[in-house]
Chain A
């Protein structure tokens, strides 16, 4: 299921957690891993003078410089590259998200693995979608699942065995279900379906009666049975829950309670034509906070 992994990295400690999972996954599942680094952005169109994204310096890009960067990346990941690791190191210049998507179109990986935010936290993180603009852009347009590991705690990994699938019953969530259920079947995992019922209206005094909440919970359970459980013929190792509260908090709590080693969610679940900021804020908050890797699936994978 994972024969080709594209690991997009800045080759700095911001991506160390993602590297740990990406290389572990490559070894565990005998996958080829492309370690991909975007050196920088040309100072002007087609210029060979590039602003190095890591150092901020202007450099003249020639083959020697490319080889030097590749060798630095190889040395940086030396302790993670095992004898049996089937890997290649690729570098490019340009906008990071565009180059990652370009390579992904070319190599057709089964998964893109990325690091998350480089330090967004607290109130700022709660107001803004800041998992990292490169992630946002890649995740919106990628034609394969995108895995993000934001916290170090999410990188103490060890393979797929316990998967939480968070759903809002959208079309993209159906695609996320197909992917996550396939994963659960293939790797004989525990599979947990969660719908987090949004009752945050009470924070602005829009209280719902408990009967209303219980009705919504009951309907959500029906939806789970109708949309997912009936497609899981013969698969017994699963649970399905509806938890009311703040959706991203409930998903992170549920994953922690289940000791999940993966959360799968859809993002960009709204219909086409949404604006740039329409990427799902819930999945972004889950990515920022989860104690395990998070895979996001977009609508294009559903098509």
Chain B
């Protein structure tokens, strides 16, 4: 069974790129363009990994993460922060990695493989 990745990203171009990139590498990917949409999709799909933008239209990434970790079923899903904001690596302390845009796709794939196989 393929591993599932949830992409939470409001920039359509980046989201599209990530979705295609993950699918090309054998993962099933879903995209949400808001924190609320991401939370609902996470509940529904129970992804193996989430990539999270910090600045979303309805919520900041760290607050989304707080909500995620308050849910017993979702709290242990690994999160990779992908953001263009300075200081993003400190925004979600328990994130498995934080990448700054523009990110290196090989580095991203390496982190994903190390995290979920």
Interface size range on B against A: 10 to 19
Residues 52 to 102 of chain B near chain A (Cβ within 8 Å): 54-55, 59-63, 65-66, 69, 85-88, 90-91, 93
Residues of B within 8 A of A (CB): 54-55, 59-63, 65-66, 69, 85-88, 90-91, 93
Instruction: Tell me whether B60 and A259 are in contact (CB under 8 A).
Output: no
Chain B residue at smallest Cβ distance from A13: B86
Q: How far is the CA of A158 from the CA of B36 in the complex (A)?
A: 14
B91 A153 Cβ-Cβ under 8 A: yes
Query: Contact: A153 with B59, CB < 8 Å?
Result: no
- The 8 tightest CB contacts between A and B, nearest first, are A152-B87, A153-B90, A259-B66, A156-B60, A158-B60, A153-B87, A158-B63, A153-B91
Chain B residues with CB below 8 A from A153, complex form: 62, 87-88, 90-91
Taking the complex as formed, is A162 at the interface, i.e. its CB lies under 8 A from any CB of chain B? yes
Residue of B nearest to A156 (CB): B60
A152 pairs with B86, CB closer than 8 A: yes
In the complex, the number of residue pairs spanning A and B with C-beta atoms less than 8 Å apart equals: 40
B87 touches A259 (CB 8 A): no
User: Chain B contacts of A157 at CB under 8 A?
Assistant: 60
Q: Are A259 and B86 in contact (CB under 8 A)?
A: no
Q: A152-B85, A156-B85 are in contact. Are A259 and B90 (CB under 8 A)?
A: no
Q: Is the CB of A152 within 8 A of B59?
A: no
- Contact A261 B63, CB 8 Å, known A156-B54, A156-B55: yes
Residue A296 is within 8 A (CB to CB) of chain B in the complex: no
Q: Tell me which residues from 265 to 303 in chain A have a Cβ below 8 Å from any Cβ of chain B.
A: 291
The yes or no answer to A231 lying at the interface (CB within 8 A) is no
Question: Does A151 contact B90, Cβ atoms closer than 8 Å?
Answer: yes
Distance, CA A261 to CA B85, complexed state (A): 18
Q: Contact string, A43-66, partner B, CB cutoff 8 A, digits 1/0? A: 000000000000000000000000
State A162–B69 Cα separation when bound (angstroms).
Answer: 14
Q: A219 near B: Cβ within 8 Å? A: no
User: Looking across the interface, which residue of chain B has its beta carbon closest to that of A159?
Assistant: B63
Task: Check if A156 sits within 8 Å of B69, measured CB to CB.
Answer: no
Q: Is the beta-carbon distance between B60 and A291 smaller than 8 angstroms?
A: no
Which residue of A17, A151, A259 contacts B62 across the interface (Cβ within 8 Å)? Answer: A259
Query: Could you say which of B54, B87, B93 has the most chain A C-beta atoms within 10 Å of its C-beta?
Result: B87
Are B93 and A256 neighbours in the complex by a CB distance under 8 Å? yes
